[in-house]
Amino acid sequence: MPPYDGSHGLHGTTAAIEFAVLTLEVERIVVCGHSHCGAIRAAYEGVPDEAINLKEWLKLASEALLPVRACPEALRRTEQRAVVLQLERLMEYPMVKRQVEARKLSLYGWHYVIEDGEIHVFDAAQLAFVPASVASTPGTGPYREYVEHDGQILCD
């Protein structure tokens, strides 16, 4: 998910988000990552020099990368961190933020564990991915103000 930069041009992802939110008036957006993601592995290991566009696209995942060697646990955690990063970036899009704050749009973060055939959902209350089969909520749901442990409400 590219960050919102407000520029004009041939931005396929941005155009799709605008169409979904402004024209179709979707009520839910699901960001779904998956286990054994080749893009996450490539973000750690690199791609051929000739793949210049792919290199640029993979830079979008750099904030999700962990400062460790790519191993199964690091890859799984990075896949999940990439889902959360994309949810955060979606909230940078003015039309998404406006609709979420108006409670007309909900965002959900999922991580599909292929080998188990199970979806883990990002539970904003727990700040963790939990199996959908035992989750108390189906995902992040509508935007809510974040309340610190001391009771302070934090808003943008």
- Centroid of chain to Cα 48: 26
pTM of the model: 0.82
Asked if 122 and 140 touch (Cβ cutoff 8 Å), the reply is yes
Domains (range + CATH), the chain: 26-37+72-154 (3.40.1050.10)
Asked if 109 and 140 touch (Cβ cutoff 8 Å), the reply is yes
pLDDT in tens, the chain (156 residues): 677 777 666 588 899 999 999 999 999 999 999 999 999 999 999 999 999 989 999 999 999 999 998 999 999 999 999 999 999 999 999 999 999 999 899 999 999 999 999 999 998 878 889 998 887 765 555 544 444 555 554 444
